[in-house]
Structure 1
Amino acid sequence: MNYTLNQLRIFLKVVQTQSVTKASEELHLTQPAVSIQMKNFQDQFEIPLTEVVGRKIYITDFGLEIAEAAENIINQVYAINYKTLAYKGQLAGRLKLSVVSTGKYVMPFFLANFIQQHSGVELLMDVTNKIKVIDSLENNEVDFALVSILPNTLNIEKLDLLQNKLYLVGNAENPVSKTPSTIETIANLPLIFREKGSGTRQTMESFIERNNITVQKKMELTSNEAVKQSILAGLGYSMMPLIGIKSELINNELQIIPIKGLPIKTTWSLIWLKGKKHSPVAQSFLQHLKENKAKIVEDQFNWYEDY
């Protein structure tokens, strides 16, 4: 056997994503490079690790056992690196976060200085919808989660970071009155919704139900970016978090539609399971946020007050 750590990482990522294409994207490699390493890795075993049926790749039972062993080996390598740094007096280890999709516009600003100060910290951040975020927290798979709607099914602790504002948004081609329209105006607009499980969708639907509005549902999309591009194309309107449309507002590509009762205001909060025993890295990060969050908000989100 003459496999490399790189081959183990690539094979493990293919197993996790069930796709050579997705693995290449997450590893920032070309698809041919991943395929070549997969072939070189497979050539060292007489038993197939994978099989392809149609266009889909399946992992064999033997492949799953090898993937488990590969993960253990990689974790041991990380442990050696962390112990070396810790012995030298440096903070080292993994910081694992799960972030709702719109949170990708928020969390990096609260991470940047901490990661820059501690080169021995490895960041693992999963950006997904609210249901998966809460599941990962409940299963104790992450240190922290970032949400804009607190879960009512878990016993948690939290640190509030930033206010979240949702406005009705349309493209900038049609001029609108600066005087806020009535809530009933929404009933006449083709609306674009996020997918079920999205916190943005939950907030939007709660607002509509609370105001007893019957709306036209134009379409349902699975990311804020897809919603934004559809609005830019003139396909409809949606309630979007202000945090994700800064550039489009500045460039006059999108506009806020003034509606009485908007914006909807929630709070971006970092949450964790109550009683969780944090690792030194997680504890250090939490302390960093408590000490620096006000300055981060002032430096990075001062534009927020213009809306």
Structure 2
Amino acid sequence: MKALVFGKTGQVARALIACGEAEAGLTIEALDRSQADFTQPDACAALVEATDADVVINAVAYTAVDQAESDEAVATTINGTTPGAIAAACADRGLPFVHISTDYVFDGAGEAPFAPDHPTAPLGAYGRSKLAGEEAVRAAGGTHAILRTSWVFSEHGNNFVKTMLRLGAEREGLTIVADQIGGPTSAAHIAQSCLTVARTLTAQPEQSGTYHLSGGPDVSWADFAREIFAQAGLSCAVEDIPSSAYPTPAARPENSRLDNSQTLASFGIERSDWRIELADVLKKLDR
């Protein structure tokens, strides 16, 4: 299988490239920003029109949640308009399209895990831009899977794990939000899942739809940090604080729990244990 991947330096894109290097019979053609500018929807669609790939995966996103509050037009182009254009090109070519979305399309109310068909109600610009992308992908009418995920981490890029490792080595204690609950998810698990989904859609296009993909068990940011410090052998203490004590330009959903049951039923993808994935990331960072 050959996959055209939009993205090359992000966490999921780099994990997809690693899959291609490790797996016989899998070719990953990853496109960076110089090759695929997501502020240019038509140019990105043209790349799909010209590809010889079997499937297309979008691992590009505008992820600066706070900056999106003052930059919503650009965020919406990158997260909404361009994925829609790519999806339309995929539909014209008959190519399965896998698109990564986010828990931020929900309002974070309650404590129950959100099912894929739960009503969306994003709290801010980033969530609205990602929801626009979902709607555009569905409207394109082709074979597709939208994978909503949360709290992505890996050995690459900027993420919570790497930030905690840096701060935990510098400080004796940190105050960390404890009333936001979600499922940390490794980029490696997302990448493998994207490939599994793409292969299934090739044979079973009727599995098109929206799915959830997050690690378990669900945990607070504060408890996530405690596990990071414990596994890394850092003695940094963690003090729980409410979200109100750490104000940000964009509101974050307090409940980011996602119901993964349909992903298991349709694709056989088990919910991953982020604690095991964290140990693997720490080993890679130690090399």
Output the TM-score relative to the length of structure 2.
Answer: 0.29
Bigger radius of gyration:
1
Output the TM-score relative to the length of structure 1.
Answer: 0.28
Give the structure with the larger strand fraction.
Answer: 1
